């Protein structure tokens, strides 16, 4: 895109007091969740000229998405949301670099990428995913804008630093550890799927987009939680206080060393890159084998497929007993020929490793 074309495209934005289009075009925003809310936010940021968007979502397009997703169409049902959204955005905003990641956010976006992002945008629809992203942003001090919808309103939360109160501070210890499914997608909650409409989605996404752009422009709002209630026509800040028991306020400390190994390389190549005796670990567990409790039948090549959280037990073909999957986070327990990405290690992830003399070192994977 030529300079004159770019100037014409953003001419109306450039005359907004305090607006810096150059700063916007140099920004990177990570959008976690590309369903209804993520669709709207990604569209708004791309049209505003944000230079780079990373879209992360493991799911495919469902028919129920189509009434609330401007970037997805009827012909896209069954295809990855992130891929289709990225393709549409490249047409709408050719000056924006859009990178889709078809993966859970912990496997699709590395901590190094979160650290480098200008802002991270949480458009996920479960407490579990929201807390996971909050925790990962805490580790690297990433600015986080988080939103959620209700039938006629919603909330938007901003946290610029791990020192500030967060979404986790508003939850009980039990709620912070909850494991759940997105009711709006699976109908697992009381009364079936949660109600939603494009009107509420657009309303909350508009506020989220404004806050994201304020953060990018270096002028974030003073409030940290905005409550939106369309039934009374009010959007108002809400004060929150930091819970001393909330664990999401402890970032990683110490230097981070970038190594030449990427997540496309093997476990063996990573270990060879590290100093002798250093023990690298993943943030999430991975399967390392399976064993039958009846006949002690053992295999280093698990026969499980699908979701490892749900498919941890299967019948033993030898004795009919139950074979259980074994897990680890210690990378030396994995087959050294396996690629790190196959174990769920994200691009530009930070690998935490225990040093022989105690303490830990932090190694950033290369691109």
pLDDT digits (tens, 9 = 90+) for 262-288: 999 999 999 999 998 999 999 999 988
Residue 155 belongs to some domain of the structure: yes
pLDDT recorded at residue 7: 60
- pLDDT for 26: 98
Query: 143 or 320: which carries more pLDDT confidence?
Result: 143
Per residue in 32-58, pLDDT (tens digit) is 999 999 999 999 999 999 999 999 999
- Give the SS3 label for residue 148: strand
Q: Report the side by side order of strands in the sheet with 52-56.
A: 97-101, 52-56, 28-32, 119-122, 144-150, 153-159, 225-229, 234-237
Query: Taking 70 as the threshold, does the pLDDT of residue 364 lie above it?
Result: yes
Same domain, 53 and 184: yes
Question: Total structural domains in the chain?
Answer: 2
The helix or strand, by DSSP H or E, that contains position 335, with its residue range, turns out to be none
| Bridge partner list, 228 | 154, 235
What pLDDT score was predicted for residue 193?
A: 64
Question: pLDDT (tens digit, 9 = 90+) per residue, 173-230?
Answer: 888 776 444 433 333 344 456 788 999 999 999 999 999 999 999 999 999 999 999 9
Q: Give the model's confidence band at 126: pLDDT under 50 very low, under 70 low, under 90 confident, else very high.
A: confident
> Which of these ranges, 62-66, 270-274, 309-313, has the smallest mean pLDDT?
309-313
> Cα 38 to chain center, whole Å?
11
- Kindly state whether residues 101 and 221 are assigned to the same domain: yes
Q: Alpha-carbon distance 287 to 2, whole Å?
A: 50
- Residue 4 and residue 98 in contact, taking contact as beta carbons nearer than 8 Å: no
Segment 3-30 shows an average pLDDT of 88
DSSP-derived secondary structure letter, 10 = T
* 249 belongs to a structural domain: no
Of 172, 206, 237, the position where a domain reaches its end is: 237
Question: Out of 86-90, 230-234, 309-313, which region has the weakest mean confidence (pLDDT)?
Answer: 309-313
Whether 98 is in a domain gets the answer yes
User: Which residue range forms the structural domain that includes residue 285?
Assistant: 256-364
Instruction: Kindly indicate the confidence band of residue 8, based on its pLDDT and cuts at 50, 70 and 90.
Output: confident
Same domain, 94 and 209: yes
């Amino acid at each position: 895109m030529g300079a004159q074309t770019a100037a014409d495209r953003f001419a109306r934005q450039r005359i907004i007091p305090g607006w810096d289009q150059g700063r916007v075009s140099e920004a990177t925003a990570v959008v976690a969740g590309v369903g209804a809310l993520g669709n709207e936010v990604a569209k708004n940021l791309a049209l505003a000229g944000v230079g780079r968007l990373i879209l992360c979502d493991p799911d495919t397009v469902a028919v129920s998405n189509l009434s609330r997703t401007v970037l997805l169409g009827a012909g896209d049902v069954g295809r990855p949301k992130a891929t289709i959204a990225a393709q549409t955005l490249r047409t709408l905003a050719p000056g924006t670099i859009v990178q889709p990641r078809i993966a859970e956010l912990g496997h699709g976006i590395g901590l190094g990428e979160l650290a480098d992002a200008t802002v991270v945008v949480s458009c996920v629809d479960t407490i579990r995913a929201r807390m996971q992203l909050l925790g990962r942003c805490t580790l690297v001090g990433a600015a986080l804008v988080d939103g959620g919808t209700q039938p006629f309103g919603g909330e938007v939360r901003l946290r610029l630093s791990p020192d500030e109160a967060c979404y986790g501070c508003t939850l009980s210890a039990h709620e912070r550890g909850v494991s759940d499914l997105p009711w709006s997608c699976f109908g697992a909650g009381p009364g079936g799927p949660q109600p939603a409409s494009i009107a509420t989605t657009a309303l909350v996404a508009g506020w989220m987009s404004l806050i994201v752009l304020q953060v990018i422009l270096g002028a974030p709002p003073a409030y940290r939680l905005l409550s939106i209630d369309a039934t009374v026509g009010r959007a108002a800040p809400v004060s929150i206080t930091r819970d001393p028991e909330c664990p999401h306020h402890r970032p990683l400390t110490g230097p981070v060393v970038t190594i030449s190994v990427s997540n496309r390389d093997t476990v063996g190549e990573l270990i060879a890159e590290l100093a002798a005796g250093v023990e690298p670990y993943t943030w999430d567990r991975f399967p390392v084998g399976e064993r039958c409790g009846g006949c002690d039948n053992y295999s280093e090549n698990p026969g499980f497929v699908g979701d490892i959280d749900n498919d941890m037990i299967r019948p033993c073909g030898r004795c009919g007993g139950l074979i259980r999957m074994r897990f680890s986070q210690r990378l030396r327990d994995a087959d050294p020929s396996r690629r790190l990405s196959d174990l769920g290690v994200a691009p530009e992830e930070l690998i935490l490793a225990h040093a022989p003399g105690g303490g830990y070192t932090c190694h950033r994977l290369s691109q």
